Chains A and B, each alone.
Chain A
Amino acid sequence: MSSDIDELIEKYRQARGGLIPLLQETQELKGFLSRETLEKIASGMNLSLAKVVGVATFYHQFHLEPRGKYIIRVCMGTACHVRGAADILAAMEKELGVRVGDTTPDLTFTLEQVACLGACGLAPVIMINEDTHGKLTPDQVPEILAKYRQKTAVIH
């Protein structure tokens, strides 16, 4: 599997300004940029690790931690806030066993909060990848998560 990265490094080694597209394609391949990956890229591109990490941390697109298969975005906009978004978030944290911003150890879910998803009529609302779930109550949370867990189980 690391040979894929070698191939990518080979592809961009000679290209001027190749570090960013290399990081983009590597992340597409691996899902995130681990320290090991970054070290490999640094030595392959003949750059310091500081330089590579510097670039990787500058842009929003790059993730240095593994991310879940499903990204849960809990809306914390005003409309959702007054309708109990904080309770939804708390239920999520409890059910997943992670804090906001973190990913479950089995890499199924990443829990994030966002400013507004723009579905205020459905408040409180969350998005799991591309699906919107609205008018939530905290007791619906386990049920919804179970659906996605099931999906993963089938795929596996």
Chain B
Amino acid sequence: MKRSILVCGGTGCVSSHSRLVHDALEKELRTRGLDKQFELKYTGCHGFCEQGPIITVEPEGYFYCQVTDEHVPKLVDSLREGSVYEDLLYKDPETQERVKTRDEVPFYKKQKRLVLKNCGRINPENIEDYLKTGGYQTLDKVFNMPPEAVIEEVKASGLRGRGGGGFPTGLKWAYAREARGDKKYLICNADEGDPGAFMDRSILEGDPHRVLEGMLIAGYAIGASEGFVYIRAEYPLAVKRLAMAIRQAREKGYLGNNILGSGFNFNIHISQGAGAFVCGEETALIASLQGNRGMPRPRPPFPATKGLWDRPTVVNNVETLANLPVILNMGAGAYASIGTKQSKGTKIFALTGKIKNTGLVEVPMGITLREIIFDIGGGIRNGKKFKAVQIGGPSGGCLGEEHLDLPIDYDSLIEAGAMMGSGGLVVMDEDTCMVELARFFLSFTRMEACGKCTPCREGNTRLLEILNRIVEGKGEPRDLDLLETLGRNIIDTSLCGLGQSAPNPVLSALRYFRPEYEMHVKQKICPAGVCKDLLSYRIIEEKCKACGLCLKHCPVGAITGAKGQPHRIDPEMCEKCGECLKKCPFGAIVTAGGDRIGKNKNDYQWDHVPRTRELHDLESGRRERY
């Protein structure tokens, strides 16, 4: 049997130069005359982007991480000998032992990869690869069922929308099926805009035919003849692979007229979004598809009865559609046996933040946060303590330690004040300020608000002003109640999902981290040491050796002290730049309550100031700003 070398071609690995590795491998195999014995594939995302570029060798399943083109000659040696290239194997950070195969890597052990099954295993640019894994086979089954039976099957599977709200997919379809219209449309929502979420991109990049197959099933069920994929222009690789997949599917007769002799006609078009977060909302998305400003409109009428060009339209998210081949393959009963009572199947989460293993994970519904964060994610980086996790991006909420053992599904999260959202999971450690984090999310949603309805436009602006005031040390105790009242009003009165969920990060943080908010407004202290205006620096006399380093480095001359005498910082003059703390070799300089003593000059680095890290982690999955 021909062995395969799978080089990850997902966006994460591409930016760590996997293309170079692929090309070097190709050349090396060819010059050594080995290119006939090995099949070299450029695949989609393996999910473990942190360790990229990733290469796996099948059928053995050897899992190589952080491969560079310099490793290539030795790698080919090992391939020829059939041996393992030890140095490239993943090293378990706990045991320091190297593990050979992907399934042994702790990151993958607790995952249940149904939707992501092919990602990283097949060449997404070749339909044959997809067909070999049983791709498009559900169509025979589906076309032999009446559309109503397909809808019943999906209803029975318990599938709920993976894009955020969690509306039962089968029910949405039934409304559209029953709705009257000369033409019906299916829209695949690939306008993934949440900071920190990139599962839709990975599916489209790694297994685009799965989404097309899902669209065919959905289109057949609701009686649509045309489908649109509304995808962000900022995902160029996904757009390219999707276009390629559509062309191949058309050539093979899976798209077009009278598909597989069933009499069912279906075509798919790609429409590129122009950069507006609110277009993830279905009515805004439809407005954008029609060439207008992407502003939401009140519902009802729901798109299922009056959508694109006023025709019945179903808008399903990428991950939802990618679940359909799984359901039709394994049967609704088997699918419904996975997960919890009200939430079936698996969910893909984008795990980022202060966690050891960042990446994309697919887990059964009902798994606990502890399992995701500690078993799969490997726990918190740099030996820090877990503080909170933000679920569902800017629409979601912050949950703390008391929720670590909560089995997560749509309903348990809403009850806890968060939401599934699109599945972003940003993990925070003790260095994160919950006020500042809420402020960050709110500044994002406020900037992305379309401006149509007053509660969202004005209300969220006021919320942000209050939060800005608090982080600047100008907050008052009454601000906390104001945040709550205003937040609830915005949720109750906003037009669309964006406004209705924008205050969530603030309200959930207030609910679970109220003491931290109170310290900001009462004592004017930021316990995490993040809010610069709330920091005050002072020198512990007993520890000061009067070396003069801080004095020398203070850019504003706020430090005074003679030789042999403990130095002191003039709080009036101090600009709070942190230079002195970084420079002090004796850990004599402390901030705020004195709980963050720098033991040596490398102990406290501004690089670790969480706000920046979070922004980075959040933005790594997000659009590039123009």
Residue numbers of A with Cβ under 8 A of B are 16-21, 23-24, 54-55, 58-63, 77-80, 82-83, 114-118, 120-121, 123
A82 touches B578 (CB 8 A): yes
| A58/B615 contact (C-beta < 8 A), A23-B274, A78-B606, A82-B577 known | no
Name the residue on B nearest A57 (C-beta). Answer: B293
Name the residue on A nearest B575 (C-beta). Answer: A82
Q: Which residues of A contact B293 (CB under 8 A)?
A: 54-55, 58
Name the residue on A nearest B270 (C-beta). Answer: A21
What's the Cα separation between A60 and B611 when bound, in Å? 24
11 chain-A/chain-B pairs, Cβ below 8 angstroms: A17-B289, A20-B274, A20-B291, A21-B272, A59-B294, A60-B274, A60-B275, A61-B274, A80-B612, A120-B609, A120-B616
Q: Which residues of B contact A82 (CB under 8 A)?
A: 577-579, 606
B606 touches A55 (CB 8 A): no
Q: Which residues of A contact B167 (CB under 8 A)?
A: none
CB distance from A135 to the nearest CB of B (A): 12
| A116/B291 contact (C-beta < 8 A), A60-B626, A82-B578 known | no
| A17/B626 contact (C-beta < 8 A), A60-B276, A118-B619 known | no
Q: Which residues of B contact A79 (CB under 8 A)?
A: 606-607, 609, 612
Q: Which residues of B contact A17 (CB under 8 A)?
A: 271, 289-291
Q: Which residues of A contact B233 (CB under 8 A)?
A: 24, 61
Chain B residues numbered 526-574 whose CB sits less than 8 Å from any CB in chain A: 532
CB distance from B13 to the nearest CB of A (A): 17
What's the Cα separation between A61 and B233 when bound, in Å? 9
CB distance from B205 to the nearest CB of A (A): 20
A18 touches B291 (CB 8 A): yes
Q: Which residues of B contact A114 (CB under 8 A)?
A: 625
A77 touches B294 (CB 8 A): no
B613 touches A120 (CB 8 A): yes
What's the Cα separation between A83 and B289 when bound, in Å? 45
| A55/B611 contact (C-beta < 8 A), A116-B616, A123-B606 known | no
| A62/B607 contact (C-beta < 8 A), A17-B290, A54-B293, A120-B612 known | no
B612 touches A55 (CB 8 A): no
CB distance from A37 to the nearest CB of B (A): 16
A59 touches B577 (CB 8 A): no
B620 at the interface (CB under 8 A from A): yes
Size range of the interface on B?
35 or more
What's the Cα separation between A80 and B613 when bound, in Å? 12
Give me the 9 closest cross-chain CB pairs, A-B, nearest first. Answer: A118-B616, A60-B275, A59-B274, A19-B291, A116-B615, A17-B291, A58-B293, A61-B274, A61-B275
Name the residue on A nearest B450 (C-beta). Answer: A58
Give 14 A-B pairs besides A59-B273, A59-B275, A61-B275 with Cβ atoms closer than 8 angstroms. A17-B289, A20-B288, A24-B233, A58-B293, A59-B276, A60-B274, A77-B611, A77-B612, A79-B606, A82-B577, A82-B578, A82-B606, A120-B607, A123-B607
What's the Cα separation between A83 and B288 when bound, in Å? 42
B292 at the interface (CB under 8 A from A): yes
Q: Which residues of A contact B450 (CB under 8 A)?
A: 58
A55 touches B292 (CB 8 A): yes
What's the Cα separation between A143 and B613 when bound, in Å? 29
Which of B309, B609, B615 touches A16 (beta carbons < 8 Å)?
A: B309
Residue numbers of B with Cβ under 8 A of A are 233, 271-276, 288-295, 309, 450, 532, 577-579, 606-607, 609, 611-613, 615-617, 619-620, 623, 625-626
What's the Cα separation between A23 and B293 when bound, in Å? 13
What's the Cα separation between A120 and B612 when bound, in Å? 7
Q: Which residues of A contact B620 (CB under 8 A)?
A: 118
A24 touches B626 (CB 8 A): no
B625 touches A60 (CB 8 A): yes
Q: Which residues of A contact B272 (CB under 8 A)?
A: 20-21, 24
Which of A20, A21, A115 touches B615 (beta carbons < 8 Å)?
A: A115
CB distance from B394 to the nearest CB of A (A): 14
CB distance from A119 to the nearest CB of B (A): 8
Name the residue on A nearest B614 (C-beta). Answer: A116
What's the Cα separation between A60 and B616 when bound, in Å? 20
Q: Which residues of B contact A55 (CB under 8 A)?
A: 291-293
What's the Cα separation between A115 and B441 when bound, in Å? 13
CB distance from B86 to the nearest CB of A (A): 29
Name the residue on B nearest A122 (C-beta). Answer: B607
A121 touches B271 (CB 8 A): no
B615 touches A61 (CB 8 A): no
Q: Which residues of A contact B294 (CB under 8 A)?
A: 58-59
What's the Cα separation between A77 and B612 when bound, in Å? 6
| A78/B609 contact (C-beta < 8 A), A60-B625, A116-B616 known | yes
CB distance from A25 to the nearest CB of B (A): 10
What's the Cα separation between A54 and B450 when bound, in Å? 12
CB distance from A131 to the nearest CB of B (A): 14
CB distance from B115 to the nearest CB of A (A): 28
| A16/B607 contact (C-beta < 8 A), A59-B275, A120-B613 known | no
What's the Cα separation between A23 and B291 when bound, in Å? 10
B274 touches A16 (CB 8 A): no
What's the Cα separation between A23 and B611 when bound, in Å? 36
CB distance from B206 to the nearest CB of A (A): 23
Name the residue on B nearest A62 (C-beta). Answer: B274
CB distance from B531 to the nearest CB of A (A): 10
| A78/B275 contact (C-beta < 8 A), A58-B293, A63-B626 known | no
What's the Cα separation between A137 and B622 when bound, in Å? 29
Name the residue on B nearest A63 (C-beta). Answer: B626
| A16/B612 contact (C-beta < 8 A), A62-B274, A82-B578, A123-B607 known | no
Name the residue on B nearest A73 (C-beta). Answer: B625
Q: Which residues of B contact A21 (CB under 8 A)?
A: 271-272
Name the residue on A nearest B289 (C-beta). Answer: A17
Name the residue on A nearest B309 (C-beta). Answer: A16
What's the Cα separation between A57 and B275 when bound, in Å? 11
Q: Which residues of B contact A63 (CB under 8 A)?
A: 626
What's the Cα separation between A18 and B271 when bound, in Å? 10
What's the Cα separation between A23 and B626 when bound, in Å? 16
What's the Cα separation between A146 and B1 when bound, in Å? 57
B606 touches A61 (CB 8 A): no
Q: Which residues of A contact B616 (CB under 8 A)?
A: 77, 116-118, 120
